[in-house]
Amino acid sequence: MPESPIEPQDASERDVTSERDAAPDARATVGVPPDPPEGASVPHPTPGRTPLLEVDDVTLRFGGVVALDKVNFTLYEGEILGLIGPNGAGKTTCFNAMTGVYTPTSGEIRFKGQKLSGRKRYKITKMGIARTFQNIRLFPEMTALENVMVGADAHHKTSVPSALLRLPRYWQEERSGRERSRELLDFVGVRRHDEAARNLSYGEQRRLEIARALATQPTLLCLDEPAAGFNPTEKDSLLQLIRDIRDTGVTVLLIEHDMRLVMGVTDRIVVLEFGKKIAEGSPAQVREDPKVIAAYLGVPADAA
Amino acid sequence: MTEIRARWRALRQAVGSRWDRQPKATKIGLLLVFVIFLYALPNRGFYEYLGLPLGEYIPLYTTRSDMATVLFQCGYFILLALGLNIVVGYAGMLDLGFFGFFAVGAYTIATLTSPRSKVFTEYNWLESPWPWIVALPLAVSLSLLAGVLLGWPVLRLRGDYLAIVTLGFAEMIRIVAQNNDWIFNGDRGIAEIAHPPGKNPDGTPIFLLDAKPYYWLVLTVIIAMVFLIRNLARSRVGRAWVAIREDEDAAELMGVPTYRFRLWAFAMGAGIGGLSGALWAGQIGFVNASTFRLEQSILVLAAVLLGGAGNIGGAILGGFLVIYVPEWLRSVGEVFGLPETVRIAGEPYDVSATNLRYLFFGIVLIVVMIFRPQGLWPNRRRAAELKDREKEAMVGA
Amino acid sequence: MNFNELINGFPVLTVTGLTQGAIYALVALGYTLVYGVLRLINFAHSDVFMIGTFGAIWTWSAFGFDANSARPGVAQALLLILAAMLVAACLSGVFAMLVEVSAYRPLRARNAPPLAFLITAIGASFVLSEGMGAFTNRRQFGVPAMLPTDPIIKIGSWTVTPLQLATIAVAIVMLVALDFFVQRTRFGRGIRAVAQDANTAALMGVNKNRVILLVFLLGGLMAGVAAVLSDMKAASTRFNVGFLIGLKAFAAAVLGGIGNLRGAALGGVLLGLVENYASAVFGTNFRDFVGFTVLILLLMFRPTGLLGESLGRARA
């Protein structure tokens, strides 16, 4: 796991949004590839072609509404996949289906070859899928550290007897959980570990959510509009963070509206419209695809 | 008014930070002194030693009922509050039938240790009555099991439905106990329950009629419980409970097995309730179907909420106040010559504080929920949660 | 399990069941109305009912009738019953509104979490029942006999006493009236609007708090009328009589679909019938069990009940 590239510049902490970008030279020495020129798609080393998450002909109905209509795509290990589409396209529904919140009406979703449907949600997390939320859902009164520790607890075996009697396992897991949580908080760039989550700045809260999700040791990290409300500097910072996460071996799935971010960080993109997949491919391909352009911008009147 | 509140808050914070700064040895020392003080409470001589008496009247010492008995009642009630605090305060579930677990503990002890119990006299399942101390673990285990059995189908329900179902279950058990002559013996109950064991140096049993040894026993149990519960709260289990309370869905998606931990909370609360019942049965020697009354469940709830849900200190404070204050009022009344029954139109009305207790604490429940929902001794987190909700209302969210 | 008793006593059981069911239905309306608008289980409703029972007794006692009096003539009896219903309905209605204003409204103003409402509901229930208990010294009070007991309708082995007839008739009238009120009047529209979407209703000019007050009043009125009928059926009352009837009426409301007026009526009738039949088969000790079991099973497996939640929709 790459180290946080900079040391805190001053003891009192203000807005940490561009903290991670403060020392680009440090980053270069750690071996992270430099930022691409604006808007260009990044030539990445080819991710492995092992399928990690397979969305197999999934249809999802809510009463009479067809939210997803025979959606079909595969997410490969080590890649950063973007899921885009105009509002109401079914991105969040697809997202929720992929993280086990919804069960498909027909079709199947497989993670590491195993069916997701019918599993308890916390078990899905333990299988290795973690997520963040579109409208931040932290535990507001718990500190940043405690929030992340809840994530770290996902794989802990301490239960009531060990905790009651303070058995060795309790001490062990508590210590390792705390250490890991601090590391993760530093990794994402949240420095006020002991501040209540609701007191953190917006940017810190978004990054805290990512840290919490990472604490569950996921194989797949699903980010739901992680850059919503960010200014361009913050978005660049986030872009780098996502790459750093992928470099630690975590596959990333991303829903985002900001095209620059999507084009800049993803390896492949899946485009949804009205619950159907209308395009799939590299950012360059998708950008040129007439169906995608029509979905976002509409068809010219005379081309009907 | 706000002046006074600001000063009070400043004082609390000053004391709190002073306490935090003390070295560990000092803290332990002070706590020890406090504990010794607690053990000395039932002794009348202690108050005289402190120079408290004003002639015949000793402030804080109850006279209408025996002080040691009152303290024992506070004790088992505090245990109940501690147990319900785990369910309501930590895990955020409203159990209206909590007192049923108390009854399970009490009845288990009764049926196993009383020579009059039908287990021995009629059915001969067992040879002879068990000693109290042997029946105790079984009583606690059965209560724990009852908690699991009740919680398992019911814990998936929403808050208000959960409350009603627990209420219904408790009533059903009461009806069974009342109408059933099988073991429970309805209203006639089971008498001659065994007392806890132990002999004085001079050969007489320690636990007989005097309430003091019972008080000391329950006090010891409370201290042990506080220690254990604190361990639990400051572990991943406690964290999970807070997470469940703050955002259950998010917690589950972060890998918290919410159902399992809620069931644990329910079961532990039940076990502690049963323990309290077992101790009570050992003192009072007799149980019958009226042991199961609904009002007691509500009283325990009032204790937890009044003291401060989610906070061990709050539960203790609430449990203490609910039992002690009415008794204390009666003693004060005695000093001032207030009657306990009044005659209105020839009918005697029992207006003693203990009879009006339920009415009074019903009002307390409403008032506390409106004006101070975090209780008298709030859990800092809870207080912050509630303040935020109030602010949202003012902004018009 | 005694099925003979069920078969032999079927007519009697059915009529008694319908009568008891009518009472449950009236009380269930109060629960369902409040739940439909506030999503709150008004625990105190059962004690509002209890207060109605005392209101009836006090009315009759004011006219000189107590448990030992001779029965009045039929005309006089009808007038007395009417008077008692008026008094009980008003008393229950007033107390229902008092509970709303003192226990629930302050919490809404503070945006309290749902648990807090449940707790004040219980507190209010306690205050009412324990208050009445202290006031009446926890005694049981007998109810004067009002109506003649000889059956007024006799068809084969089916008999209906005047009281049973009156109960069912009154219940039907009140249900129809309430239904009309909610469907056809301006106030009823307000109720349905607030039940569906309180904020939008407020934006459309509906006074939310006033509608809520109205809902409590209506529930209280229904409970008061039911209280008079229940008094006459049970022939006695005491400070804690509300608890059992309240729990069963709530079960009836859930059975029919909480928030659904017609559902409450249906649920009440069904529960009354099932209770009676079950007590014939399993023994009278288990009568109360039925209500609880139905409630618990419903909440666990089909909380939407038979007709589903729908106070807001036009076709209740």
pLDDT tens string C238-253 = 998 998 899 899 999 9
Percent share of chain A, pLDDT over 70: 82
> What is the model's pLDDT at position B85?
94
Q: Which of A98, A102, A121, A198 to mutate to test the interface with B (most CBs of B within 10 A)?
A: A121
- What domains lie within chain C, and their CATH numbers? 3-131+158-301 (1.10.3470)
Percent share of chain B, pLDDT over 90: 20
Other C-beta atoms within 10 Å of B106: how many? 28
Which has more confidence, C316 or B150? B150
Other C-beta atoms within 10 Å of C169: how many? 11
Q: Which of A151, A163, A216 minimises the CB distance to B237?
A: A163
Q: Is the pLDDT of residue C127 over 70?
A: yes
> What is the model's pLDDT at position C257?
87
Average pLDDT, chain C: 88
Q: Which residue of C has its CA nearest to B358?
A: C130
Q: Which residue of A has its CA nearest to B248?
A: A139
> What is the model's pLDDT at position A18?
41
* Pair C255, C267: CB distance under 8 Å: yes
Q: What is the pLDDT of residues C86-105, one digit of tens each?
A: 999 999 999 999 999 999 99
Lowest mean pLDDT among A218-232, B49-63, C18-32: B49-63
* Pair B153, C300: CB distance under 8 Å: yes
Q: What residues of C are in contact with residue B156 (Cβ under 8 Å)? A: 300
> How do strand C153-155 and strand A51-62 relate by DSSP bridges?
unpaired
> What is the model's pLDDT at position A5?
39
pLDDT tier for residue B143 given thresholds of 50, 70 and 90: very high
Q: How far is B172 from chain A (nearest CA, A)?
A: 30
Tell me which residues of chain B, numbers 331 to 390, contact chain C at a CB-CB cutoff of 8 Å.
347-351, 355-356, 358-359, 361-366, 369-370, 373, 386, 389-390
Which has more confidence, B202 or C80? C80
d(CA B11, CA C205): 48
- For C34-44, what is the mean pLDDT? 90
Q: How far is B253 from chain A (nearest CA, A)?
A: 6
Q: What is the pLDDT of residues A55-101, one digit of tens each?
A: 888 898 888 888 888 888 899 988 999 999 888 888 888 888 888 78
Lowest mean pLDDT among A30-39, B117-126, C286-295: A30-39
Q: Is the pLDDT of residue C28 over 70?
A: yes
Q: What residues of A are in contact with residue B228 (Cβ under 8 Å)? A: 164
- For B23-29, what is the mean pLDDT? 80
Q: Is the pLDDT of residue A260 over 80?
A: yes
End-to-end CA distance of chain C: 38
Question: Residue written as tokens 């994530």?
Answer: A151
C-beta pairs of B183-188 under 8 Å, 24+ apart in sequence: B183/B111, B183/B117, B183/B118, B183/B119, B184/B107, B184/B289, B185/B118, B185/B288, B186/B288, B186/B289, B187/B288, B187/B289, B187/B290, B188/B288
Q: Domain map of chain A by residue range? A: 47-128+218-304, 140-217
> What is the model's pLDDT at position C265?
92
Q: What residues of C are in contact with residue B98 (Cβ under 8 Å)? A: none
- For B361-365, what is the mean pLDDT? 88
Q: What is the separation of C-alpha B101 from the centre of its chain, rounded to a whole number of angstroms? A: 12
> What is the model's pLDDT at position B53?
60
Cross-strand bridge partners of residue A76: A51
Percent share of chain C, pLDDT over 90: 46
Other C-beta atoms within 10 Å of C82: how many? 11
- What domains lie within chain B, and their CATH numbers? 24-61 (no CATH), 66-328 (1.10.3470)
Q: Which of C257, C243, C253 lies closest to C288, judged by CA?
A: C243
Q: How far is B95 from chain C (nearest CA, A)?
A: 11
Q: What residues of A are in contact with residue B268 (Cβ under 8 Å)? A: 160
Which has more confidence, C174 or A11? C174
- For B292-307, what is the mean pLDDT? 86
Q: Phi and psi dihedrals of A73, rounded to 5? A: -160, 170
> What is the model's pLDDT at position B45?
66
Percent share of chain A, pLDDT over 90: 30
> What is the model's pLDDT at position A145?
93
- For B110-119, what is the mean pLDDT? 79
Q: How far is C285 from chain B (nearest CA, A)?
A: 7
Q: Which residue of B has its CA nearest to A155?
A: B255
Lowest mean pLDDT among A37-51, B28-42, B56-70, C49-63: A37-51
Q: What residues of B are in contact with residue C295 (Cβ under 8 Å)? A: 164-165, 168
Q: Indicate the DSSP class of residue A301.
A: G
Q: Do C102 and B159 touch (CB under 8 A)?
A: no
Q: Cite the beta strand spans of A175-288 per DSSP E.
A: 220-224, 251-255, 268-273, 276-281
Q: Do A216 and B385 touch (CB under 8 A)?
A: no
Q: Is the pLDDT of residue A19 over 50?
A: no
Longest CA–CA separation in chain B, Å: 72
pLDDT tier for residue A150 given thresholds of 50, 70 and 90: very high
Q: What residues of C are in contact with residue B390 (Cβ under 8 Å)? A: 110-111
Q: Do B254 and A212 touch (CB under 8 A)?
A: yes
Q: Is the pLDDT of residue C189 over 80?
A: yes
> Who contacts B278 (Cβ-Cβ below 8 Å, separation ≥6)?
B105, B106, B108, B109, B135, B136, B139, B140
Q: Phi and psi dihedrals of C113, rounded to 5? A: -65, 155
> What is the model's pLDDT at position A304?
44
Q: Which residue of B has its CA nearest to A140?
A: B246
Q: What is the separation of C-alpha B184 from the centre of its chain, rounded to a whole number of angstroms? A: 24
Q: How far is A126 from chain B (nearest CA, A)?
A: 6
Reading the block at residue A231, the tokens are 């200014």
* Pair B104, B277: CB distance under 8 Å: yes
d(CA A174, CA B238): 12
pLDDT tier for residue B81 given thresholds of 50, 70 and 90: very high
> What is the model's pLDDT at position B176?
76
Which has more confidence, B308 or C222? C222
Q: Do B256 and A141 touch (CB under 8 A)?
A: no
Percent share of chain B, pLDDT over 70: 85
Q: How far is B203 from chain C (nearest CA, A)?
A: 46
> What is the model's pLDDT at position B189?
74
Average pLDDT, chain A: 81
- For A189-206, what is the mean pLDDT? 90
Average pLDDT, chain B: 82
> What is the model's pLDDT at position C176?
93
> What is the model's pLDDT at position C39?
86
Q: Is the pLDDT of residue A42 over 60?
A: no
Q: Is the pLDDT of residue B381 over 90?
A: no
Q: Which residue of B has its CA nearest to C299?
A: B161
pLDDT tier for residue C52 given thresholds of 50, 70 and 90: very high
Q: What residues of B are in contact with residue C134 (Cβ under 8 Å)? A: 349, 351, 355-356, 359
SS3 of B257, please?
coil
Are 3 or more Cβ–Cβ pairs between C and A shorter than 8 Å? Answer: no
Lowest mean pLDDT among A94-98, B89-93, C304-308: C304-308
Q: Which of A139, A174, A196 minimises the CB distance to B243?
A: A139
pLDDT tier for residue B60 given thresholds of 50, 70 and 90: low
Q: Is the pLDDT of residue B282 over 80?
A: yes
Q: What residues of B are in contact with residue A170 (Cβ under 8 Å)? A: 235
Q: What is the pLDDT of residues A99-111, one digit of tens each?
A: 878 888 888 899 9
Q: What is B16-27 written as a DSSP string?
A: HHHHHHS-HHHH
CATH class in words for A47-128+218-304: alpha beta
pLDDT tier for residue B199 given thresholds of 50, 70 and 90: low
Q: Is the pLDDT of residue B157 over 60?
A: yes
pLDDT tier for residue C17 given thresholds of 50, 70 and 90: very high
* Pair A141, B381: CB distance under 8 Å: yes
* Pair B379, B311: CB distance under 8 Å: yes
